[in-house]
A and B are shown apart, each in its own frame.
Chain A
């Protein structure tokens, strides 16, 4: 079946004309009036990948590798290549991505344009930080090779630039060597937020990958309880323990039809009761404080990818995801926000908590910054959902934090401009023919 051009949250619904680009030397398929926006795999939750009444440029057919240096791990590939394709090809040869988001179904171009982060942000920074160079094609037909040394302004604006500076046709970055496809993982149960911060502080040094699942419906003393995941790639001397019989998880071998969410669930399926039960079970399933094991990289990094099209869980109404970062000096902010969410009862299915490290991305409009970040889903339950999120926007702003554009479908211009005061400087580098539903929304003049 052919793909639908929607965002992962399936909200908002827009109408747009889709054009496909198949070769990196092609000229952009512009007409005389509409503006255009590149589209990767549509894993952005909101409208950064949508262009209502405009052209959408489908980039997935730019899916060729260009070169790979076996000695240094330097990979050059077209921008529509997916992380899944890179992993499939390079993990068996002992290479891994420098960093990866929680799904492998993203394109290199999309990962640059949102400057995505992963569980190793405290070590590796964002994906954009690893890009040694890329080609940017602008609507005037020019091709710019951008790097930290060359056309630096465009390099900085395009990383985290939400597809607004032009089309990235190819990019280059280093893969990192690994000894084995498995991850040495620990799952640590924690009772509250204080414990989370302590675990985080002690883990960031010893573990490359850290993040936590939080029961965001727990109240009172239990606020912020959850399970902390930390892990490292298997070390050379551990490989012997695993070989000869390591098997990638079975689910990956099932045919796609069996792994695909076949239908949209009715919207009542995910009411707060079912979610409460789900959260409770996940938390209490783990009976001992620490579980230590070897797991395959697939379930470790991409637990949700084992059900393709899981967005259909939320029905056709769609859902919103909310991700923000706030400085972590003051733990009270996060606590207050978690309490507000729990009180609202507007159930969130998954809440992920992680600390961002010091490493700063060159991206002008990048989201990650030192602090603690929380990401959660909200089924759309009408006005009250939007009101709650506005309330959270204010709390985040007051704390000096920011909301992640890649997850957003509803932020007001006022909040966006407060989180990203550099937006006007960024706007100088946007291409006059490139635009998105998101960009028009957050930069519109409100009187």
Chain B
């Protein structure tokens, strides 16, 4: 993995993952929407050993820019070996319930923008016949719960999309990795009360890097979330619907 393209590169989890690629001496191409933050992340990755770090400032909700963005990354690095898609937003469930516009925005941020990116990227990798596509989905997409089913629906849709894509790209030897973090202490979860189930972006970042190296299909991070979700998914719907979750 010498040439790595990262969307949402200023995300806490993406930063922690990128340090490992930098350490390996990769060429990194970062996409984010805040210049100052991108500059700080790029400096850090250079000292960490990245061969070269380029970045582009782009709001990923402008879908029409996606094709160009990927072309530019491909040209700058002269190829793409791996992609990490990390951007996302955790919007207020209440606001989404009150107002479809907010729901649509959540679906755009967490599902459609990624589908839009993955359409040209999938074709690129399919042709290239090697590489790795890693996307951060969430345990929230494994089962709908009243407290965040809009975000959950976006992530659930994303997980299904990635399953299909993995199936399609298997023939081209392209790895498609679905990352399902549990509760991670990042800006996204700033206002949540933290407890024993929470992990750090560093733990999750290491897990993503290792899973990409091992060309895994799906990972829960930290791995105990696999057990928790197994249990949650096994509760019959007739009982589940009455739980306060």
Q: Tell whether A pairs with B.
A: yes
**Which residues does chain A contribute within 8 Å of B98, judged by CB atoms?**
none
> Distance (Å) between the CB of B125 and the closest chain A CB?
30
Q: Are B200 and A64 interface neighbours, CB within 8 A?
A: no
Question: Which residues of chain B from 136 to 170 have any CB-CB distance to chain A below 8 Å in the complex?
Answer: none
A24 sits at the interface (CB 8 A): yes
Q: Are B40 and A24 interface neighbours, CB within 8 A?
A: yes
Q: Are A22 and B187 interface neighbours, CB within 8 A?
A: yes
Indicate with 1 or 0, residue by residue over B162-199, a CB within 8 angstroms of chain A CB atoms: 00000000000000000000000101001000111011
Which of the residues B23, B47, B200 comes within 8 Å of A67, measured between beta carbons? B47
| Complex CA–CA separation, A2 to B192 (angstroms) | 13
Indicate with 1 or 0, residue by residue over A60-85, a CB within 8 angstroms of chain B CB atoms: 01001111100000010100000000
> Distance (Å) between the CB of B155 and the closest chain A CB?
22
| Complex CA–CA separation, A66 to B43 (angstroms) | 5
Contact flag A66-B200 (CB < 8 Å), given A2-B194, A22-B12:
no
| Complex CA–CA separation, A89 to B48 (angstroms) | 7
B54 sits at the interface (CB 8 A): no
Q: Are A2 and B198 interface neighbours, CB within 8 A?
A: yes
> Distance (Å) between the CB of A386 and the closest chain B CB?
33
Q: Are B190 and A20 interface neighbours, CB within 8 A?
A: yes
B53 sits at the interface (CB 8 A): no
| Complex CA–CA separation, A25 to B190 (angstroms) | 18
| Complex CA–CA separation, A33 to B41 (angstroms) | 33
| Complex CA–CA separation, A77 to B200 (angstroms) | 21
A23 sits at the interface (CB 8 A): yes
B36 sits at the interface (CB 8 A): yes
| Complex CA–CA separation, A1 to B48 (angstroms) | 26
B44 sits at the interface (CB 8 A): yes
Q: Are B47 and A1 interface neighbours, CB within 8 A?
A: no
Contact flag A65-B47 (CB < 8 Å), given A22-B12, A23-B37, A23-B40:
yes
Question: Which residues of chain A from 359 to 373 have any CB-CB distance to chain B below 8 Å in the complex?
Answer: none
**Which residues does chain B contribute within 8 Å of A68, judged by CB atoms?**
47
> Distance (Å) between the CB of B37 and the closest chain A CB?
6
Q: Are B43 and A67 interface neighbours, CB within 8 A?
A: yes
Nearest A-chain residue to B187, judged by Cβ:
A22
Which of the residues A1, A22, A24, A75 comes within 8 Å of B198, measured between beta carbons? A1
> Distance (Å) between the CB of A312 and the closest chain B CB?
16
**Which residues does chain B contribute within 8 Å of A23, judged by CB atoms?**
36-37, 40
Indicate with 1 or 0, residue by residue over A89-118, a CB within 8 angstroms of chain B CB atoms: 100000000000000000000000000000
Q: Are A1 and B36 interface neighbours, CB within 8 A?
A: no
**Which residues does chain A contribute within 8 Å of B194, judged by CB atoms?**
2
Q: Are B12 and A64 interface neighbours, CB within 8 A?
A: no
> Distance (Å) between the CB of A308 and the closest chain B CB?
14
Indicate with 1 or 0, residue by residue over B191-217, a CB within 8 angstroms of chain A CB atoms: 000111011100000000000000000
- Total number of B residues with any Cβ neighbor in A under 8 Å: 20
Which of A20, A23, A64, A89 lies at the interface centre, i.e. has the most chain B CB atoms within 10 A of its CB? A64
**Which residues does chain A contribute within 8 Å of B200, judged by CB atoms?**
2
**Which residues does chain B contribute within 8 Å of A64, judged by CB atoms?**
40-41, 43-44
Which of B12, B37, B43, B49 lies at the interface centre, i.e. has the most chain A CB atoms within 10 A of its CB? B43
**Which residues does chain B contribute within 8 Å of A75, judged by CB atoms?**
47
Indicate with 1 or 0, residue by residue over B107-119, a CB within 8 angstroms of chain A CB atoms: 0000000000000
Nearest A-chain residue to B43, judged by Cβ:
A66
Which of B12, B23, B44, B48 lies at the interface centre, i.e. has the most chain A CB atoms within 10 A of its CB? B44
Nearest B-chain residue to A65, judged by Cβ:
B47
| Complex CA–CA separation, A61 to B15 (angstroms) | 11
**Which residues does chain A contribute within 8 Å of B198, judged by CB atoms?**
1-2
Q: Are A2 and B190 interface neighbours, CB within 8 A?
A: no
Contact flag A25-B36 (CB < 8 Å), given A1-B199, A67-B47:
yes
| Complex CA–CA separation, A64 to B39 (angstroms) | 11
Nearest B-chain residue to A25, judged by Cβ:
B36
> Distance (Å) between the CB of B178 and the closest chain A CB?
24
| Complex CA–CA separation, A64 to B36 (angstroms) | 13
| Complex CA–CA separation, A66 to B36 (angstroms) | 13
Contact flag A65-B44 (CB < 8 Å), given A2-B185, A2-B200:
yes
Q: Are A61 and B47 interface neighbours, CB within 8 A?
A: no
| Complex CA–CA separation, A22 to B198 (angstroms) | 18
| Complex CA–CA separation, A24 to B37 (angstroms) | 9
Q: Are A2 and B47 interface neighbours, CB within 8 A?
A: no
| Complex CA–CA separation, A156 to B100 (angstroms) | 57
| Complex CA–CA separation, A77 to B47 (angstroms) | 10
Nearest B-chain residue to A23, judged by Cβ:
B37
Which of A61, A66, A67, A68 lies at the interface centre, i.e. has the most chain B CB atoms within 10 A of its CB? A61
Q: Are B43 and A1 interface neighbours, CB within 8 A?
A: no
Which of A1, A66, A68 lies at the interface centre, i.e. has the most chain B CB atoms within 10 A of its CB? A1
**Which residues does chain A contribute within 8 Å of B44, judged by CB atoms?**
64-66
Nearest B-chain residue to A62, judged by Cβ:
B40
| Complex CA–CA separation, A65 to B195 (angstroms) | 29
Q: Are B48 and A65 interface neighbours, CB within 8 A?
A: yes
**Which residues does chain A contribute within 8 Å of B196, judged by CB atoms?**
1-2
**Which residues does chain A contribute within 8 Å of B36, judged by CB atoms?**
23, 25
Indicate with 1 or 0, residue by residue over A13-41, a CB within 8 angstroms of chain B CB atoms: 00000001011110000000000000000
> Distance (Å) between the CB of B151 and the closest chain A CB?
21
**Which residues does chain A contribute within 8 Å of B49, judged by CB atoms?**
89
**Which residues does chain B contribute within 8 Å of A65, judged by CB atoms?**
43-44, 47-48
| Complex CA–CA separation, A75 to B47 (angstroms) | 9
Nearest B-chain residue to A60, judged by Cβ:
B200
| Complex CA–CA separation, A25 to B37 (angstroms) | 9
**Which residues does chain B contribute within 8 Å of A25, judged by CB atoms?**
36, 40
> Distance (Å) between the CB of B28 and the closest chain A CB?
14
| Complex CA–CA separation, A61 to B189 (angstroms) | 14
> Distance (Å) between the CB of B154 and the closest chain A CB?
24
Contact flag A2-B199 (CB < 8 Å), given A23-B37, A25-B36:
yes
Extra 12 A-B pairs, beta carbons < 8 Å, given A2-B185, A75-B47, A77-B47: A2-B194, A22-B12, A22-B187, A64-B41, A65-B44, A66-B40, A66-B43, A66-B47, A67-B43, A67-B47, A89-B47, A89-B48
State the 3 A-B residue pairs at the shortest beta-carbon distance, nearest first.
A65-B47, A64-B44, A2-B198
A-B contact pairs, 8 of them (CB 8 A): A2-B194, A2-B196, A20-B185, A25-B36, A64-B40, A67-B43, A77-B47, A89-B48
